């Protein structure tokens, strides 16, 4: 046994993405206590930077000390009570995980299914809202990582609010990579992940809750079934008013990394980051089109940061192609999930990975391997 030295890869799958040297350097700084006054100052700056990234003034905006899946559970565990009807929009793998969360919280999931690779149907959601006037929550994935499709978050939230419903939005892949406006679009609860367009190592889940969501949490009939994710307890640590109370030992060095990644986003500017992702995606699309490779998602609905391409018919062993990209070119891409397994490849352009040198390397590697 000896120290582990990982191979140097170019990460262009569905996450994690390439991490900036600045972020890696930040992680290597000396560890301090999670109640140290210096760390508490960092926590306040992280909250400010997250509000910038989410475009929100929500006071209850902070990073959950666990990956994006824990951010999802934090939203559902706090907002869904036994017997609550929740409309869950499923157009990919991560919508199905929302359904599972509703069930485990004791809620009733009303599933709106759409074809994988298509956005959530506004008309289908409206039909279910009219048919179920006692629905409490509408939950959907803004940017479905398994397919690379973007749904109309603004319209879905407006529709939900018109029917007096809260919204829970999965923004794991969208935060920092494509337009997102929590306050402007009226999103009530939202969660994301550190390892996608923020280009931070995996393990942290930013979340944000507005006053409408907080009101429902405070009016719960029974305590949140998860002690770790109970916001009434967690915010005693993250809120900071009157002094922080111990809840858990935060991953101190991972928070250094998150702070640095959010600072990089702030320095670039949100709109500039969205534009960069879009421009790099267009260059990648042009290169794939020139090779005769087609996309799963119609261009107007396609995520710039997650490009899902159809595996050409003549490829009989798609896993062998991915292995050659990894072993011969140190390039990681993603396989298809669920119903799309063996049918698509997922090519990520997230955060620090959305650079012209990555686009050029990816296209050159595909040409070499496909030939």
Query: Is pLDDT above 70 for 325?
Result: yes
Sequence-distant (6+) residues with CB within 8 A of 36 are: none
pTM attached to this predicted model: 0.96
Write out pLDDT tens, residues 274-319. 999 999 999 999 999 999 999 999 999 999 999 999 999 999 999 9
> What does each C-alpha distance from 56 to 59, 139, 162, 211 come to in angstroms?
9, 19, 21, 12
**Where does the chain show beta strands of DSSP type E?**
10-11, 60-64, 85-90, 108-113, 135-141, 143-144, 149-150, 166-170, 189-191, 205-209, 306-310, 331-332, 334-335, 344-348
Write out pLDDT tens, residues 168-180. 999 999 999 999 9
Read off the DSSP letter of residue 227: T
> What does each C-alpha distance from 221 to 34, 66, 107, 225, 227 come to in angstroms?
32, 27, 14, 12, 16
Residue 4: its pLDDT value, please?
97
Write out pLDDT tens, residues 31-78. 999 889 999 999 999 999 999 999 999 999 999 999 999 999 999 999
Backbone φ and ψ for 105, nearest 5 degrees, come out as: -85, 0
Q: Which domains are seen in the chain, by residue range?
A: 10-15+270-370 (3.90.1150.10), 21-266 (3.40.640.10)
DSSP states of 75-134 as a string?
HHHHH--TT-EEEEEESSHHHHHHHHHHHHTT-EEEEEE--TTSPPPHHHHHHHHHH-TT
> Is the separation of the CB atoms in 79 and 102 below 8 Å?
no
The band of 240, judged by pLDDT with boundaries at 50, 70 and 90, is: low
Query: Is pLDDT above 60 for 242?
Result: no
> Is the separation of the CB atoms in 142 and 161 below 8 Å?
no
Residue 185: its pLDDT value, please?
98
Query: Is pLDDT above 90 for 239?
Result: no
């Amino acid at each position: 046994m000896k120290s582990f030295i990982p191979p140097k890869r170019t990460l262009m799958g569905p996450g994690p993405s390439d991490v900036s040297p600045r972020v890696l350097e930040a992680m290597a700084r000396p560890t301090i206590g999670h109640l140290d006054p210096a760390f508490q100052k960092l926590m306040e700056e992280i909250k400010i930077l997250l509000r910038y990234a989410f475009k929100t003034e929500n006071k209850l905006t902070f990073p959950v000390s666990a990956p994006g899946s824990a951010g999802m559970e934090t939203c559902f565990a706090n907002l869904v009570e036994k017997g609550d009807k929740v409309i869950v929009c499923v157009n990919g793998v991560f919508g199905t995980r929302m359904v599972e969360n509703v069930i485990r919280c004791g809620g009733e999931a009303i599933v709106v299914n759409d074809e994988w690779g298509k956005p959530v149907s506004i008309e289908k959601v409206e039909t279910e809202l009219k048919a179920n006037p006692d629905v409490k929550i509408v939950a959907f994935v803004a940017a479905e990582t398994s397919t690379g499709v973007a749904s109309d978050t603004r319209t879905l939230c407006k529709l939900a609010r018109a029917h007096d419903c809260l919204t829970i939005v999965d923004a794991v892949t969208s935060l920092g990579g494509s337009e997102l406006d929590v306050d402007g679009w009226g999103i009530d609860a939202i969660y994301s992940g550190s390892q996608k367009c923020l280009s931070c190592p995996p393990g942290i889940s930013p979340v944000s809750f507005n006053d409408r969501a907080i009101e429902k949490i405070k009016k719960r009939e029974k305590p949140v079934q998860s002690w770790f994710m109970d916001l009434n307890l967690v915010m005693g640590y993250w809120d900071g008013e009157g002094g922080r109370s111990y809840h858990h030992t935060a991953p101190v060095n991972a928070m250094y990394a998150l702070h640095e990644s959010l600072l990089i986003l702030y320095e670039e500017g949100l709109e500039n980051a969205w534009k960069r992702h879009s421009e790099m995606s267009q260059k990648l699309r042009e290169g794939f089109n020139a090779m005769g490779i087609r996309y799963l998602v119609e261009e107007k609905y396609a995520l710039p940061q997650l490009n899902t391409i159809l595996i050409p018919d003549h490829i009989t062993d798609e896993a062998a192609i991915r292995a050659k990209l990894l072993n011969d070119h140190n390039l990681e891409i993603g396989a298809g999930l669920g119903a799309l397994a063996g049918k698509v490849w997922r090519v990520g352009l997230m955060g620090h990975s959305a650079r012209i040198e990555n686009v050029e390397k990816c296209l050159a590697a595909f040409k070499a391997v496909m030939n």
